[in-house]
Structure 1
Amino acid sequence: MGKTTILLLLLFALLLTTSLSKDLCHKDDKNTLLKIKKAMNDPYTIISWDPKDDCCTWYSVECGNANRVTSLDLSDDDVSAQIPPEVGDLPYLQYLTFRKLPNLTGEIPPTIAKLKYLKSLWLSWNSLTGPVPEFLSQLKNLEYINLSFNKLSGSIPGSLSLLPKLDFLELSRNKLTGPIPESFGSFKRAVYGIYLSHNQLSGSIPKSLGNIDFNTIDLSRNKLEGDASMLFGVKKTTWHIDLSRNMFQFDISKVKVAKTVNFLDLNHNGLTGSIPDQWTQLDLQTFNVSYNRLCGRIPQGGDLQSFDAYAYLHNKCLCGAPLPSCNVKIQATDLYLNLPSE
Structure 2
Amino acid sequence: MNMNLPFLAVLFLLSFVSPSFSVRCNPKDKEVLLQIKKDLGNPYHLASWDPNTDCCYWYVVKCDRKTNRINALTVFQANISGQIPAAVGDLPYLETLQFHHITNLTGTIQPTIAKLTNLKMLRLSFTNLTGPIPEFLSQLKNLTLLELNYSQLTGTIPPSLSQLPNVLAIHLDRNKLTGQIPESFGKFKGPNVPDLYLSHNSLTGKVPKSLGDLNFSTLDFSRNKLEGDVSFLFGKNKTIQIIDLSRNTLEFNLSKLEFPESLTSLDLNHNRIFGSLPQGLKDLELQYLNVSYNRLCGQIPQGGKLQSFDVYSYFHNKCLCGSPVPDCK
TM-score interval for Structure 1 and Structure 2 normalised by the shorter chain: over 0.9
Deviation (angstroms), 1:309: 1.2
Deviation (angstroms), 1:73: 0.5
- Aligned letter for 1:181? P
Instruction: Give deviations 1:226-257, integer Å, cap 9, x for gaps.
Output: 11111112212221110000010011111111
- Aligned letter for 2:231? S
Contiguous gaps of at least 5 residues in structure 1: 328-342
Instruction: Give runs of ≥4 in structure 1 deviating > 4 Å.
Output: 17-21
Percent of aligned positions that are identical = 55
1:311 equivalent in structure 2? 313
Give the secondary structure class of the aligned counterpart of 2:326. Answer: coil
Give the secondary structure class of the aligned counterpart of 2:126. Answer: coil
1:81 equivalent in structure 2? 82
Name which of 268, 280, 283 aligns with 1:281: 283
Deviation (angstroms), 1:20: 8.5
1:51 equivalent in structure 2? 51
Q: Note the 1:167-316 alignment, pairs <5 A.
A: 167-189=168-190, 190-316=192-318
Q: 1:60 and 2:60 equivalent?
A: yes
Deviation (angstroms), 1:67: 0.6
Deviation (angstroms), 1:35: 0.4
Instruction: Give deviations 1:58-115, integer Å, cap 9, x for gaps.
Output: 1111111321100000000111111001000000100000000010000001100000
- Aligned letter for 1:292? N
Deviation (angstroms), 1:316: 1.2
Distance 2:87 2:260 in 1: 46
Deviation (angstroms), 1:23: 2.5
- Aligned letter for 2:77? D
Distance 1:173 1:44 in 2: 29
1:34 equivalent in structure 2? 34
Deviation (angstroms), 1:308: 1.3
Question: Is the contact between residue 277 and residue 301 of structure 2 (CA under 8 Å) also seen in structure 1?
Answer: yes
Instruction: Give deviations 1:146-193, integer Å, cap 9, x for gaps.
Output: 000000000000000001111110000000000000000001232241
Deviation (angstroms), 1:317: 1.3
Deviation (angstroms), 1:282: 1.0
Question: Is the contact between residue 255 and residue 275 of structure 2 (CA under 8 Å) also seen in structure 1?
Answer: yes
Structure 1 residues 280, 19: CA separation in 2 closer, same or farther (over 3 Å shift)? closer
- Aligned letter for 1:50? D
Distance 1:139 1:21 in 2: 36
- Aligned letter for 1:203? G
Question: Is the contact between residue 19 and residue 54 of structure 2 (CA under 8 Å) also seen in structure 1?
Answer: no
- Aligned letter for 1:210? G
Question: Is the contact between residue 20 and residue 54 of structure 2 (CA under 8 Å) also seen in structure 1?
Answer: no
Distance 1:21 1:85 in 2: 31
Give the secondary structure class of the aligned counterpart of 1:194. Answer: strand
Q: TM-score normalized by structure 2?
A: 0.93
Distance 2:195 2:232 in 1: 16
Structure 1 residues 103, 294: CA separation in 2 closer, same or farther (over 3 Å shift)? same
Q: 1:129 and 2:103 equivalent?
A: no
Bigger CA drift: 217-226 or 206-215? 206-215
Question: Is the contact between residue 22 and residue 53 of structure 1 (CA under 8 Å) also seen in structure 2?
Answer: no
- Aligned letter for 1:46? L
Q: 1:163 and 2:164 equivalent?
A: yes
Contiguous gaps of at least 5 residues in structure 2: none
Bigger CA drift: 140-149 or 43-52? 43-52
Which structure dedicates a bigger proportion of its chain to helix? 1
Give the secondary structure class of the aligned counterpart of 1:124. Answer: strand
Distance 1:221 1:205 in 2: 14
2:149 equivalent in structure 1? 148
- Aligned letter for 1:87? V
Instruction: Give deviations 1:123-160, integer Å, cap 9, x for gaps.
Output: 11011000111100011111100000000000000000
Instruction: Give deviations 1:290-327, integer Å, cap 9, x for gaps.
Output: 11111111111111111111111111111111111111
Distance 1:132 1:108 in 2: 7
Bigger CA drift: 187-196 or 309-318? 187-196
Question: Is the contact between residue 148 and residue 174 of structure 1 (CA under 8 Å) also seen in structure 2?
Answer: yes
